[in-house]
A and B are shown apart, each in its own frame.
Chain A
Amino acid sequence: MASAIRQAHWAYSIWLPFTLLGVWQLAATAGWLDPLFFPPPSKLATAAVRQFLQGDLAFQVYSTLTRSFLGFVAGTVAGLLCGAAMGLSARAHRSLEPLVSALYSTPKITLLPMLMLLVGVGETSRLLIIAAGCFILVAMHTLDGIASVDPHYVDMARNCGASRRVLFHRVYLPACTPHVFTGMRLAAGRGLVTTLSVEMVSAGEGLGNVILHSWQTFSTERLYLAIILTALLGASLHQSLRALEKRLIPWRKQ
């Protein structure tokens, strides 16, 4: 299945979006769609060039990227520590598990008002929300990764005389890397999603803010541009993490 996906020509990955754009263009120019609500892609393209050259769109993309990146890094570091502690110590597992599973099933955005009360309405509350989403995913996958280390390989290394230090960096660490990386890949996606939601409700800039603001001011071109940019960000993030995974975990069966 996986190899079948790799064998298919790259053109298979782009024909659908381009066909949709073509249909949209056709419908808009033929007058089936109201160009006020649905400006044709050709107009969006020229608007994109204009807004990137003269406007603030690059800055908006930059804000969204930095915000989700900072949240992702903070959440990932905390998640790795928490997941490792839970995986390695039964006491830590017992103590942290209720909190982690409660946080897992709570939509993070619902915590924003509470956090704003706690740390103020500034950037800290937004970053905390984004980090919380990443934290949960990384912590749970790290925990899974440690739990799934095959004791057979631990025995095999111990039999060769491996010390605890060697066991850690030659067996435990590589054995759980694929799980941890999956957690981080999901967290990066989740981070972007949360960033957009947070920007829609509480930020002065960023793509989420652009979307909401364009809706309120009826700037449809800008609205669609922001949506398309968001989708492109998500897609390129996913692709680059996949590529990174192949480099970092060459031994994983693809």
Chain B
Amino acid sequence: MGEMQAPVRPISTASGTAPPNTSPALRCEALAVSFQQNGVRVPILRDISFSAAPGEFVSLLGPSGCGKTTLLRTLAGLVTPESGAVFTANGPGRMVFQENALFPWMTVLDNACFGLEIEQTPRAERESRARLLLERYRLGGREKAYPHELSLGMKQRVAVIRGFLSNPGLLLMDEPFAALDWQMRLTLQEELLDLWAQDSCTVLFVTHDVDEAILLSDRILVLSPQPGTILGEYAVPFSRPRPPELSVRDEFVALKRRILADFGDRLTGARSAG
């Protein structure tokens, strides 16, 4: 991981527009989503507009219940928006879920390969690709295990591998590490960045953890409590690969302080809930 070259990635400006000569991997325009609850219309998201450049890592930071998951599900094509539009360069995004992210009835190998299986990649090829990644991320020998035999961290690791293996243009990650302990979370964050560095996909990463958002992303979008809308946006200028010690450096702390100063009152609810 350490010897990996930092990939050159387009980092968009704080205004949220992609560089003019690149067509964005993802663009949302005035997206609004609401649900019917006992006959009453409950707005979940309103006026969401942003875009992500190809290969960009964007975090959506917001308190619990701000509609982050709904936004991801909309981008994944699982929820139909009430109004507005979503444009994606390579079809709907692939989700990596926070809980039950694996099919309990499939082995680790089958779970990792599922995206490729759908694309009808020949079995030998998809399994060798999956084995390679499972091996690299310390899941070698567990290919035939079932999810209930794995720890939470291992399960999420397989889910992340499946996400990358399914050739996503856009990967949508819904707080995939929220339930992990601190140590495990650091490991998986590092592995995620490692996998992403070798792939050209765009990642949209939902979290309520400011540190996680800064450590991982090129850009952070802050969402308001329900109905969720984008309150602010921060470019994260730190070079890659980013060591875990980054989180105690002055520039990191300064950015974190800025985000908390601007929106801390709206994020604190999430921090205690998380």
Interface residues, chain A, with chain B CB atoms under 8 Å away: 150, 152-153, 155-162, 166, 170-171, 174-175, 177, 249-251, 253
Contact = CB atoms under 8 A, between A and B. Distances in A.
Given A175-B105, A253-B148, A161 B118 contact: yes
A18 B100 CA distance: 46
B148 A159 contact: no
Nearest to B76: A159
Contacts of B252: none
Given A250-B146, A251-B105, A160 B100 contact: no
B160 to A, nearest CB: 14
Give the residue among A155, A158, A159 with the most B Cβ atoms within 10 A: A159
Most buried by A among B78, B94, B105: B105
Given A251-B105, A251-B147, A253-B148, A156 B118 contact: no
Given A150-B100, A152-B100, A251-B147, A160 B166 contact: yes
A160 B105 contact: no
B77 A159 contact: yes
A251 B104 contact: yes
Contacts of B118: 157, 160-162, 166
Contacts of B104: 251
Ranked 5 nearest A-B pairs via Cβ: A174-B105, A251-B146, A251-B105, A161-B118, A160-B115
A175 B100 CA distance: 13
Interface residues of B, number: 23
B111 to A, nearest CB: 10
Contacts of A171: 103
A160 B77 contact: no
Contacts of A162: 118
B211 interface: no
Interface in B57-75: 73
B114 interface: yes
A171 B166 CA distance: 18
Contacts of B225: none
B196 interface: no
B92 interface: yes
Interface of B: 73, 76-78, 92, 94-95, 97, 100-101, 103-106, 114-115, 117-119, 146-148, 166
A155 B166 contact: no
16 contacts: A153-B100, A153-B103, A155-B95, A156-B97, A156-B101, A157-B103, A159-B92, A160-B115, A160-B166, A161-B115, A170-B114, A174-B105, A177-B105, A251-B104, A251-B105, A253-B148
B60 to A, nearest CB: 18
A28 to B, nearest CB: 50
A233 B247 CA distance: 67
Contacts of B78: 155, 158-159
Contacts of B148: 251, 253
Contacts of B76: 159
A163 to B, nearest CB: 8
Contacts of A156: 95, 97, 101, 103
Contacts of B105: 174-175, 177, 249, 251
Contacts of B101: 156
B94 A159 contact: yes
B100 A159 contact: no
Nearest to B102: A156
A111 B106 CA distance: 43
Nearest to B73: A155
Contacts of A253: 148
Contacts of A174: 103, 105-106
